[in-house]
């Protein structure tokens, strides 16, 4: 992995020119065992509010067959399984086998184990036939893919006409009163969390990737335009926590 750690200080490669296809699965393999804990710590628990907002606004119906892209430790897959109910099914795909191992343990211990299956797969080349799903969703994944437009095109391919799409992702707060402290948190507080993680015996360097991963990711309006260009319709976005996170929703045209 093209990362280094010196004296507890995380350093990651720049986002520009990085081979995400090789870097990202290695990164998440390293942090899989502590991923859920660090998410809660880094967001001060606000992650749960984002999950609740996703549930309210994503538009995934009961009984749906849903694809969770970049499912990781199955947090979103289990939320979707609860939403689709006993007649629905959720398939999660992820590049990181270690994240999938953690996710499978969580699924097996949940009441939804009969309606969730997880498998290894690449968002840029999804291992499914055209129109296989009623809906597709992802959470905090799209900024990590090597080719955003190709990932969006794959979503359009595997979701049936009229199906739903919901993408939850970090974004760029439009108001400077929020954006400035947000960037200060990314640049100064997260390194301190990295030092704490080092003392606790947790992986450090991967958390330096978080602010870098957002550098080249489009803002809310530009992301909506990219989704529309991929063939999605009625693309809408909902800024959460003053725009720190954004939920984009859309559907595919009925043919």
One of 3.40.50.970, 3.40.190.80, 3.40.50.150, 3.30.70.270 is the CATH number of 19-170+217-252, namely 3.40.50.150
Q: Which among 197, 213, 208 has a CA at the least distance from the CA of 33?
A: 197
Of 92 and 175, more confident = 92
Q: Is 59 exposed, middle or buried (0-12, 13-18, 19+ CB in 10 A)?
A: middle
Tens-digit pLDDT profile for residues 118-140: 999 999 999 999 999 999 999 99
Of 1 and 191, more confident = 191
The answer to whether residues 232 and 250 touch, using CB atoms and an 8 Å cutoff, is yes
Domain ranges of the chain: 19-170+217-252
Q: Which among 3, 50, 51, 6 has a CA at the least distance from the CA of 24?
A: 3
Of 166 and 175, more confident = 166
Residue 247 CA to residue 58 CA, distance in Å, equals: 8
User: pTM surpassing 0.95?
Assistant: no
Q: Which among 110, 128, 111 has a CA at the least distance from the CA of 119?
A: 128
């Amino acid at each position: 992995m093209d990362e280094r750690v010196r004296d507890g200080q995380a350093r990651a490669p720049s986002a520009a020119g990085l081979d995400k296809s090789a870097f990202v699965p290695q990164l998440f393999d390293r942090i899989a065992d502590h991923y859920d804990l660090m998410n809660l710590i880094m967001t001060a628990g606000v992650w749960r509010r984002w999950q609740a907002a996703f549930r309210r606004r994503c538009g995934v119906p009961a009984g749906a067959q849903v694809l969770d892209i970049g499912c990781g430790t199955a947090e979103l897959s289990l939320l979707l399984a609860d939403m689709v109910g006993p007649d629905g099914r959720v398939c999660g795909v992820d590049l990181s086998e270690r994240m999938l191992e953690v996710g499978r343990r969580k699924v097996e211990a949940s009441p939804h184990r009969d309606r969730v299956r997880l498998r290894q797969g690449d968002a840029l080349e999804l291992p499914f036939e055209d129109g296989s799903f009623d809906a597709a969703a992802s959470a905090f994944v799209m900024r990590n893919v090597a080719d955003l437009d190709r990932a969006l095109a794959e979503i359009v391919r595997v979701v049936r006409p009229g199906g739903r799409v919901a993408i939850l992702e970090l974004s760029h707060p439009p108001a400077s009163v929020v954006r400035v402290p947000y960037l200060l948190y990314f640049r100064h507080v997260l390194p301190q969390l990295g030092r704490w993680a080092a003392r606790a015996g947790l992986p450090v360097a991967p958390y330096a990737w978080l602010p870098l991963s957002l550098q080249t990711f489009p803002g809310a309006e530009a992301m909506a335009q990219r989704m529309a260009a991929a063939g999605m319709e009625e693309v809408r976005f909902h800024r959460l926590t003053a725009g720190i996170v954004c939920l984009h929703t859309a559907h595919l045209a009925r043919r």
